[in-house]
Amino acid sequence: MVRSCVFGLLCALCAVSRLGAAPGAVQVLARGPVHEAFAAPAMEPMATPIVPKAPPITLEELPPGEKPEGDHVWIAGYWAWDDERNDYLWVSGTWRTAPPGKRWVGGYWYQEGNGWRWAPGFWVGDENQPAGAEITYLPAPPPPSEAAKPGPAPAPDSFFVPGHWVWAGNRYTWRAGYWGKVQPDHVWVPAHYRWSPGGHVFVPGYWDLALARRGILHAPVAIDPALVEPAFVHTPTHALQEAVALDSLFVRAAWSHYYFGDYYGPVYRELGYESCILMSRKRYDPIFAHE
């Protein structure tokens, strides 16, 4: 049986992308980055690539009029670098139910030398770091420890939580992995670090909602540069709600992002796109660990 996830493309969206956009238009894309507040891989932290061009001004984004039921908040979109276009595209904002006790710290672009680099966003706040507390920046953690592989699961509803490094005041110590119990309609996001220009941010492990319950993801768009001015307002119009096969979900470690759509072939492998299915066979992935 082909496994599927809860965000995908409407058929009309694919048609719009194939037809292209007239000058001065907003082109809805049939593939691209997944908003990092909606879902992001928990991988080893690394500095993102430097791009040669400054991002456009941040768009004013008006949420769609239809808000999903429940405790959803609107998290605004952001510019992302597109290697094929050699330019920026806009990752549309998302309606999101926040993980319990968490708040979103958005990513941002900053100048480094003659180029620009993306600092990824992350969820913060737990019993050790209240939602309003100041963020602590740490030295880079060591590579993951080569721990022995776990034995058979103790129960059918068990999953293995990988170990991680913990800052102990003046040095890192390794905290071993353990067996956890699956919670219905939730996925476990393991403890990990997020790189930033000010240091590394520790994100403790937490339960997040399954993708189907997180909210509404909207399609990214390519916007004619002539439109990008202070008076321009963008409202996302295409929700990614139909199911697509999980073999159409990719990850780029260098950008700390998931990507959806057609990124098959050697050209994309050279650009760092890796199938999430293949990656999940080598390391823990929150989306696939509970499949």
Tens place of pLDDT per residue across the chain (291 aa): 334 443 444 333 333 332 333 445 889 999 999 999 999 999 899 999 999 999 999 999 999 988 888 889 999 999 999 999 999 999 999 999 999 889 999 999 999 999 999 999 999 886 555 555 688 999 999 998 876 678 888 999 999 999 999 999 899 999 999 999 999 999 999 999 999 999 999 999 999 998 888 999 999 999 988 888 888 999 998 988 644 456 689 999 999 999 999 999 999 999 999 999 888 888 889 888 766
Bridge partners (DSSP) listed for residue 117:
50, 110
Given this model, what pLDDT does residue 110 score? 97
Given this model, what pLDDT does residue 211 score? 85
Q: How far apart are CA 97 and CA 74, in angstroms?
A: 9
What tens digit of pLDDT does each residue of 79-138 get?
999 999 999 999 999 999 999 889 999 999 999 999 999 999 999 886 555 555 688 999
Given this model, what pLDDT does residue 8 score? 41
Given this model, what pLDDT does residue 287 score? 83
Given this model, what pLDDT does residue 245 score? 54
Q: Where are the domains of the chain?
A: 26-130+181-281
Secondary structure (DSSP) of 169-232: SSSEEEE--EEEE--TTEEEE--EEEEETTEEEEE--EEEE-GGGSEE-B--EEE-GGG-STT-
Task: Please name the residue that has the structure tokens 């390391």.
Answer: 283
Given this model, what pLDDT does residue 260 score? 93
Q: How far is CA 130 from CA 72, 120, 122, in A?
A: 20, 20, 14
